[in-house]
Amino acid sequence: MAKIIHLIRHGHHALLGRTICGRMKGVELDDLGCEEIARCADTFTPPPSMVQSSPQRRCMQSACILAARFGLPVEIVPALDELDYGEWTGLSFEALARDPRWSRWNEQRGTNRPPGGESMRSLQKRVVAHLEQLRNDHGSGTVVVAVSHAEPIRAALLHYSRKELDDFLSIEIDPGSVSTLSVDNRGLKITGINQRVPA
C-alpha cells in the first residue's frame, strides 16, 4: 500500500472572503466550518495514522475534529503555517484592491512578496521540504492528514504539477477540501485536487 498524504484546508470561518487573515490571532471556525471538517473525516479509506496541523487556531480546530474521529494526537507543524502576509495581515480585500502592490503580487507571485511578508517561493520551499521529509521518514503504509491553508496547499500542488507560481489561480482550494498526494516510484504524485464532501 502506497503512502498517502491528504492536504486539508481548514473549514469555513466568519472572515473568509472578506479579510486577509494570514497569521492573525483568534480566527476560529464557525459552525459551517466544523460541519465541513466533520464530513471530511468520513472520506478517509484507509484511515490516517498521523494528523498534522498548521499552528493557526482554525487549522488546529479542524485537525482536532479529524484526530478525535480516529483517536490520534495532533502534531503542530510550523512548515504548514499560512503565508506571512506582513503589512497586509488583517486588511480587507476591498482595501487591498486599492493597493497597486496587491495587483502586482497577484500577477507575479513568483517574483513578488507582500510588504514585510513572505514570498510565495519561500512558502513553497518550506511546504515541499516538509512533504518530502514525510515521504522519506515514514513507512510505506503511513497515511498522513495535514491541515493547512489555501496558499500552502496551492504552492505544493503547483510544485507537483510542475506549474509556475504565477499560475496560482489555476488551482482552486476551497474550505474543507481534500487534495491528495500519493507515493509512486518517482516520488509524490497528485491523485486528487480540491475534493469536497457534499452536505
Residues in the chain, overall count: 199
The beta strands (E) that lie in the chain are given as 4-9, 50-53, 74-76, 143-148, 178-184, 187-195
Question: Residue 58 to residues 7, 81, 116, 175: CA-CA distances in angstroms?
Answer: 15, 11, 23, 11
CATH for 137: 3.40.50.1240
| 22, 84 contact by CB (below 8 A) | yes
By the 8 A CB rule, do 65 and 39 touch?
A: no
Phi/psi of residue 177, nearest 5 degrees? -90, 160
**pLDDT at position 1:** 42
pLDDT in tens for each of the 199 residues of the chain?
A: 458 999 999 999 999 999 999 999 999 999 999 999 999 988 888 899 999 999 999 999 999 999 999 999 999 999 999 999 999 999 999 999 999 999 999 999 999 999 999 999 999 999 999 999 998 876 666 899 999 999 999 999 999 999 999 999 899 999 999 999 998 778 899 999 999 877 6
Which residue range forms the structural domain that includes residue 131?
A: 4-195
Domains in the chain: how many in total? 1
For residue 16, give the nearest of 114, 87, 112, 82 by alpha carbon: 82
pLDDT of 138 = 62
Q: Name beta bridge partners: 51.
A: 74, 145
Q: How far is CA 12 from CA 50, 115, 146, in A?
A: 23, 26, 17
Tell me what pLDDT residue 140 has.
62
Q: How far apart are the C-alpha atoms of 14 and 102, rounded to whole Å?
A: 23
Helix 150-161 × helix 120-137 angle, to 10°: 70
Phi, psi dihedral angles at 57 (to 5 degrees): -60, -40
pTM of the model: 0.95
Q: What is the pLDDT of residue 183?
A: 85
